[in-house]
């Protein structure tokens, strides 16, 4: 039997923005810092070994890092999964001959405030 995947989208709005703004900003900042630590770690491993670590290896390596603990475990894992997927996509583009494809970058505070990403 074939596996079925169901995606559900829930639309919500925040009515108490003044009360939750600082907390959400803090979580976004923590996610961008974890992204940057993971991006730096991938770069170091890639320079040393010539391979890009997968999400499992990245999670294991960074599990005890202080930036991993800034978010709950599921959120930290989601950030690392997203970065791993971004690297897979970039590598796929390069392998298919796209010389203009760039690897995922680092996030600055200004950049994270403008986008929906970490």
Boundaries of every domain in the chain = 21-114
**pTM for the structure as a whole:** 0.77
DSSP track, 66-91: HHHHTS-HHHHHHHHHHHHHHHHHHH
Residue with structure tokens 């690392």? 80
Beta strands per DSSP E along 8-103: none
Mean pLDDT computed over 76-103 = 92
List of residues 6+ apart from 38 with CB closer than 8 A = 58, 62, 79, 80, 83
**How many degrees, rounded to 5, is the angle at CA 80 between CA 75 and CA 84?**
145
Q: What is the pLDDT of residues 56-89, one digit of tens each?
A: 999 999 999 999 999 999 999 999 999 999 999 9
Q: What is the pLDDT of residues 12-60, one digit of tens each?
A: 888 888 888 888 899 999 999 999 999 999 999 999 999 999 899 999 9
Cα torsion 85, 82, 63, 37: sign: positive
Please give the C-alpha separations between residue 44 and each of 14, 47, 51, in angstroms, as whole numbers: 40, 5, 10
């Amino acid at each position: 039997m074939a596996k079925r995947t169901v995606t559900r989208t829930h639309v919500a709005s925040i009515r108490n923005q003044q009360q939750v703004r600082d907390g959400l900003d803090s979580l976004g900042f923590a996610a961008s810092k974890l992204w940057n630590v993971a991006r730096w770690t991938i770069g170091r491993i890639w320079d040393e070994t010539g391979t890009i670590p997968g999400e499992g290896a990245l999670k294991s390596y960074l599990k005890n890092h202080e930036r991993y603990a800034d978010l709950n475990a599921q959120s930290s894992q989601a950030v690392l999964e997203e970065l791993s997927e971004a690297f897979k996509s970039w590598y796929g583009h390069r392998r298919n001959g796209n010389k203009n494809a760039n690897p995922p970058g680092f996030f600055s505070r200004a950049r994270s405030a403008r986008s929906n990403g970490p």
